[in-house]
Structure 1
Amino acid sequence: MANEPTCSTLAHPRGQKDLLNYRLKTLFASSGAPGLRLFEGGFGIARAEWHLMAILVEDGAMSPTELGRRAHMESARASRLLTALLGKGLVLRTEREDDRRRATLEATASARELHAQIFPLLVRINAELIGALDADELAAFDRSLSKLTARAGELATLHVVDVSANRWMGSARRDEKRKAGRPRT
Structure 2
Amino acid sequence: MFRLAKLASVSGQPLVRLCEGKYGITRREWRLIVVLSQEGPLLSTALARRASIEPARTSRTVTQLVTRGLAERIPRSNDRRCIEIHLTQRARDIYADLYPVVRDLESALLAGFSAEDRAELGRLMAMLESSAGTLVSQEDLPKADRRKLHRK
- 1:104-143 equivalent positions in 2, closer than 5 A: 104-143=84-123
Q: Larger Rg: 1 or 2?
A: 1
**Other-structure match for 1:153:** 133
1:164 to 118, 126, 141: 141
Name the structure with the higher helix share: 2
Indicate the SS of the match to 2:42.
coil
Q: Unmatched 5+ residue regions in structure 1?
A: 1-20, 172-185
CA distance in 2, matches of 1:26, 1:132: 19
Indicate the SS of the match to 2:20.
helix
Across the aligned residues of Structure 1 and Structure 2, the Cα RMSD in angstroms comes to 2.1
**Other-structure match for 2:28:** 48
- Percent identity of the aligned residues? 34
Number of aligned residue pairs: give it: 148
- 1:17-96 equivalent positions in 2, closer than 5 A: 21-96=1-76
Amino acid at match of 1:51: R
Q: Deviations over 1:11-57 (max 9, x none)?
A: xxxxxxxxxx2111100100000011111111111111010111111
Amino acid at match of 1:46: T
Indicate the SS of the match to 1:114.
helix
Using the TM superposition, give the Cα deviation of residue 114 of structure 1 relative to its aligned residue in structure 2, in angstroms. Answer: 1.1
Which piece of structure 1 moves more, 53-62 or 100-109? 100-109
- The normalised TM-score by structure 2 is 0.86
